[in-house]
Structure 1
Amino acid sequence: MMEPSSAQINPYVVSGVVSLAAFIELLDTTIANVALSHIAGSLGAGTEESTWVLTAYIISNAIVMPISGWLSGVMGRKNFFMLCIGGFVFTSFMCGIATSLPMLVLFRLLQGVAGGGLQPVQQAIIRDSFPPEKLGIAFGITGLSMVLAPIIGPTLGGFITDNYSWRWIFLINVPIGIVTMFLVKVLVQGPENTKKVKGTIDYIGLGLIAIGLGALQIVLDKGQQEDWFDSTFIITLACISFISLLLAVYWLLRQKDPIVDLKLLAIPSFSLPGIILFFVGFTLWSATSLLPMMVQEDFGYNATLSGLVLSPSAIFPLFMMPFVGKLVNWIEARYLMSLGLFINAIGMWLTGLVTPQTDYATFAIARCFQTAGLPFLFVPATTLAFSRIPREKSSNASAIVSLLRNLGGSIGISLATSILVHNRQMEQSNLVQHLTIASDGYSSLLSAYTRTMQNIGLPAAEASAKAMGQIYQQLLHQASVLAYRDTFNSVAAMLFVLGITALFLPGKNRYTKNNREDA
């Protein structure tokens, strides 16, 4: 079968095809979150053990992502992309039929390896399919996969888990992946006028990156559970990660053809947007993690309903991404990014107004504001990051950008969870101080509850104890809600400061004639 030449294929079609592959990979980073209790029960494992279903994927994904540019050069970008899709389909199938937790964790680890190259290669293909002046529109359309997948993931995962079986959250990837692989084979072409990387594998660089990022991801994922640096395990892994990554930077900067081209970070128009994309991941993933936890723990939502709190927030990015893609040609990127950060800050602040009486509609509206600023962040930052990157460096640049965004997500989840736990302890301590006989509110509530218990036939002493227990449960509930409020407000303050900082980024980042010629 003769493949059409790249000139005969609409670049928007190519972008849609490669974005579908990235979409299913990103979907799997959140789709399993709401199904952990079902997985644990089905496979006879504990809840803590089941979290390795998430951790294994994140760790292996993070290790492969930065070296995907080098692997694309060794194997050819299209060949590597198709291999990643094929591997992702196979491992998804094996996850779906897993008969034990160790088997599931093993294939989630391999699924992360296969999926690690999909996001970077997707962006590299898009970058090379469009002229520089149209990159904003291209990334505006294809960036939908980056924003929508984490939003849709919990909703889809909850619906599948509650109505069918957790196994289908993995098996659903198989038919979609097969169709995507066929479309990539027919429609996507390899880059022209580029040479494949030759030479032996840099085992030292690869090993240092694998150890450093693997240890870092475990620290971020297990830090709160192990009480952070009060744990010898976390301290040891943190030291291993720091030393390994420090040595990796030293080693890679001295190589002629490194597996990760860190010298790209010396380009301000690449490194500064990369930092913004780090906070895109931070914002998106921390909020996506906290909100379903809150409505399930403190408001009694099931997996499906907690996912539906997130799903309406996909509407605004869906329509705004292409529009913002056009704006980057007319408005400086720093202003758009600052606007996005301010909008997201407002969304976090609105969520921080939650009370025990807050209803579904209020949660959904606040969540919509949380994601409304993402198009103004993702599109300008991604477009600017690739504006001065030579085509032969697209794969390496994409790998670094994807890693920064995903690391932002991991750090965002860990930091937000740590702040939440600390705030919960502080709020409980503050509320307990008011549970004294000297407090008129506590005394009257205790008397009312005690009388209610006595009216159903309980002895006075038992009725008093039950009443105190009921009040304490209310205290825990209120302390938890207040802790979530404090946490969302902390993230809002952070985003507000970043919004001001973004205004001081270098200007003149629009696609002027000179920029197009330089690119």
Structure 2
Amino acid sequence: MTEQASLVEYGSRRWIVTLTAIVCALLEIVDTTIVNVALNDMKGNLGVTLSEIGWVVTAYAIGNVIVVPMTSWLSQQFGRRNYYAASVVIFTICSFLCGNATTMWEMILFRFLQGIGGGALLVTSQTIITEVWPPEKRGIAQAIYGLGVIIGPTLGPPLGGYIVENYSWPYIFYINIPIGIIAAALTLQFIRSPKYAEKKKASEVDWLGIIFLILAVGSLQYVLEHGQQDDWFNDRTILVLTVVSAITAYFFIWRELTCKNPIVELRVLKNQTLAVGTALSFILGFGLYGSTFVIPIYLQNSLGWNAQQAGMIMIPAALMTAFMMPIIGQLLQRGVRPQLIAATGMFLFFIYSLWGYKILTPNTGEDAFFWMLMLRGLALSMLFIPITTLSLSGLKGQQIGQGAAFTGMMRQLGGSFGIALITTFMSRQTAAHRNDLLTNITPDNPLLVQKLNGLQQNFMAHGLSPEQAKASALKLIDLSITGQSTVLTYMDVFLYIGILFLVCVPFILLIRTGKSKVDMSEAMH
């Protein structure tokens, strides 16, 4: 506690350190979703499919997920300030490289490395913000961090939309460069490192755990991304990587449970509330990042909105979340059970998803989205802090830090898996809906004949020959079928995400916790 107290800052220095950490955390979080509204432009420039361009998002998330559980150890090995500054530099350099990428493989590599740098920013920023504030004001520190985690993914699309519409997609990466340079300079000047225990020798490092973690997560992510387009287990690569992922996941769990200095402390999951909270964090990440991924694509592909319009519509929801987060914090401080707040948030997210399912059409108006997205902002504000509090409520001392790392990792992993599963699901479901709709395209369908004749007459009135008019009419009907099948797929995505959240409600209400409050400042250690 003495060492922790010695890191408290006062006056302007505290605010400079806090601002630096917030900026770094937001850089990392915003970059998770800022590319979503630029995917169409990037897809065209790089000459790839929708499923392939999803790797721009997931490669970054994989880098995050791999490095988050290792951050504590890396900070101890190199000193927190040095490791934090190095992470900012790696993130900034890779931002420049992403903007200059000319092939999909270059983009995947640089986004992965950017995610490696960014993962440290997310976790370490929480630690720094907490430690520079005195214990009696750490509730403010947690509110600041919580706002960034929830609002960051929502701010990505509007910022990305503005940049893509007014400049070009590489600038969504270039914007990080001046901010990163300033953040690195401020880090080296103002952020201090705590005194750590003796560094681990190379022979004591859990290298096997690191290797197993990378192989398990990376292989599984590839299978999720490419399984649909490569015909799943009929493809040799998919089959091999599925086996690799399963085997390395097994050995990773075995290694972490038996190793003296594990890279990830799995034993803490014996606590039931943490195990349930970790699963809820995964689902929260799935819904948060998954819905933020799918909405801009629907608005651009089906409704023809530009990138800026698709991004700006998310701002009111972000403001709603910002407004509600302090209120939720106050409710928890006054003794309202986190189970009730989290369950309500899950149910409201289900209502939001069902609302989306009901209003999506090939020509839904802009006004239809406002209150739906406001409800999304309200629901998310009721999930982050209660789920974190709930997860850690049965832990004490150092276990709280290990549990906090788990919930953070699983939230990122949930987002990564969510995006991969959604892109795969959309590819399969769009084809299925198209095949269903094509069964109605028969010569004895009076509605089709009437529609076809009307379109043909219209094209002939504009000077086309009967043959040309008929071909144009058939092409227009085919485009209409494609558009309808795509919208039906978006509807399915909303419905199934909603059902996932609804199923969680009774499980949250059944969780029993002790009466003791969690000191969130302990979650950093």
- Quick one: structure 1 residues 302 and 464, their matched pair in 2 at CA, closer, same or farther if it must change by over 3 Å? same
- Give the partner amino acid of 2:484: Q
Encode CA deviations 1:300-351: one digit per residue, 9 max, x unaligned.
1122222223232211111111221222222111111101101111111111
Q: Distance in 2 between matches of 1:386 and 1:38?
A: 42
Residue aligning to 2:96: 93
Residue aligning to 1:202: 206
TM-score by length of 1: 0.88
Deviation of the 1:390 alpha carbon: 5.4
Q: Distance in 1 between matches of 2:258 and 2:136?
A: 34
Q: Does 1:352 align with 2:357?
A: yes
Aligned counterpart for 2:379 among listed residues 368, 373, 376: 373
Aligned counterpart for 2:65 among listed residues 40, 62, 67: 62
Q: How does 1:186-197 map to 2 (within 5 A)?
A: 187-191=190-194, 194-197=196-199
Residue aligning to 1:169: 172
Residue aligning to 1:272: 276
Q: Does 1:107 align with 2:110?
A: yes
Q: Distance in 1 between matches of 2:259 and 2:213?
A: 14
Q: Does 1:28 align with 2:34?
A: no
How many corresponding residue pairs?
511
Q: Does 1:491 align with 2:481?
A: no
- Give the partner amino acid of 1:299: L
Residue aligning to 1:427: 433
Is 381-390 or 471-480 further displaced after alignment?
A: 381-390
Aligned counterpart for 1:505 among listed residues 508, 511, 519: 511
Q: How does 1:212-227 map to 2 (within 5 A)?
A: 212-227=216-231
Aligned counterpart for 2:256 among listed residues 252, 263, 279: 252
Q: Distance in 2 between matches of 1:137 and 1:382?
A: 16
Residue aligning to 1:152: 155
Q: Is the 8 A contact 2:54 2:423 kept in 1?
A: no
- Give the partner amino acid of 2:316: P
- Quick one: structure 1 residues 41 and 345, their matched pair in 2 at CA, closer, same or farther if it must change by over 3 Å? closer
Residue aligning to 1:232: 236
Q: Distance in 1 between matches of 2:515 and 2:222?
A: 37
Deviation of the 1:135 alpha carbon: 5.8
Q: Distance in 2 between matches of 1:9 and 1:41?
A: 51
Q: Is the 8 A contact 1:76 1:196 kept in 2?
A: no
- Quick one: structure 1 residues 14 and 272, their matched pair in 2 at CA, closer, same or farther if it must change by over 3 Å? farther
Residue aligning to 2:299: 295
Deviation of the 1:5 alpha carbon: 4.8
Deviation of the 1:283 alpha carbon: 0.5
DSSP 3-state at the match of 1:166: coil
Deviation of the 1:137 alpha carbon: 4.9
Q: Distance in 2 between matches of 1:217 and 1:143?
A: 27
Q: Is the 8 A contact 2:353 2:497 kept in 1?
A: yes
Q: Is the 8 A contact 2:8 2:134 kept in 1?
A: no
Is 141-150 or 329-338 further displaced after alignment?
A: 141-150
Q: Is the 8 A contact 1:60 1:214 kept in 2?
A: no
Is 504-513 or 328-337 further displaced after alignment?
A: 504-513
Q: Is the 8 A contact 1:139 1:383 kept in 2?
A: no
- Quick one: structure 1 residues 170 and 377, their matched pair in 2 at CA, closer, same or farther if it must change by over 3 Å? same
Residue aligning to 1:465: 471
- Give the partner amino acid of 1:479: S
Aligned counterpart for 1:322 among listed residues 321, 326, 331: 326
Deviation of the 1:437 alpha carbon: 4.0
Q: Distance in 2 between matches of 1:31 and 1:512?
A: 33
DSSP 3-state at the match of 1:225: coil
Q: Is the 8 A contact 2:63 2:116 kept in 1?
A: yes
Residue aligning to 2:445: 439
Encode CA deviations 1:174-220: one digit per residue, 9 max, x unaligned.
2222333344445544346x524423222211111121122122223
- Give the partner amino acid of 2:504: L
Deviation of the 1:30 alpha carbon: 1.9
Q: Is the 8 A contact 1:69 1:398 kept in 2?
A: no
Encode CA deviations 1:408-446: one digit per residue, 9 max, x unaligned.
112222233333334323432333333334433223222
- Quick one: structure 1 residues 492 and 445, their matched pair in 2 at CA, closer, same or farther if it must change by over 3 Å? same
Q: Does 1:9 align with 2:15?
A: no
- Give the partner amino acid of 2:294: L
Q: Is the 8 A contact 1:136 1:379 kept in 2?
A: no
- Give the partner amino acid of 1:490: Y
- Give the partner amino acid of 1:427: H
TM-score by length of 2: 0.87
Deviation of the 1:386 alpha carbon: 4.2
- Give the partner amino acid of 1:199: K
- Quick one: structure 1 residues 224 and 315, their matched pair in 2 at CA, closer, same or farther if it must change by over 3 Å? farther
Q: Is the 8 A contact 2:99 2:173 kept in 1?
A: yes
Q: Is the 8 A contact 1:31 1:154 kept in 2?
A: yes
- Give the partner amino acid of 2:71: S
- Quick one: structure 1 residues 255 and 112, their matched pair in 2 at CA, closer, same or farther if it must change by over 3 Å? same
Encode CA deviations 1:53-75: one digit per residue, 9 max, x unaligned.
44443333322222122212322
Q: Distance in 2 between matches of 1:107 and 1:479?
A: 34
Q: Distance in 1 between matches of 2:403 and 2:82?
A: 19
Which structure 1 residue ranges, 5 or more long, are not aligned?
none
Aligned counterpart for 1:121 among listed residues 121, 124, 127: 124
Residue aligning to 1:18: 21
Is 205-214 or 427-436 further displaced after alignment?
A: 427-436
Deviation of the 1:101 alpha carbon: 5.7
Q: Does 1:339 align with 2:340?
A: no
Which structure 2 residue ranges, 5 or more long, are not aligned?
none
- Quick one: structure 1 residues 136 and 507, their matched pair in 2 at CA, closer, same or farther if it must change by over 3 Å? farther
Deviation of the 1:505 alpha carbon: 1.3
Q: Is the 8 A contact 2:95 2:174 kept in 1?
A: yes
DSSP 3-state at the match of 1:305: helix
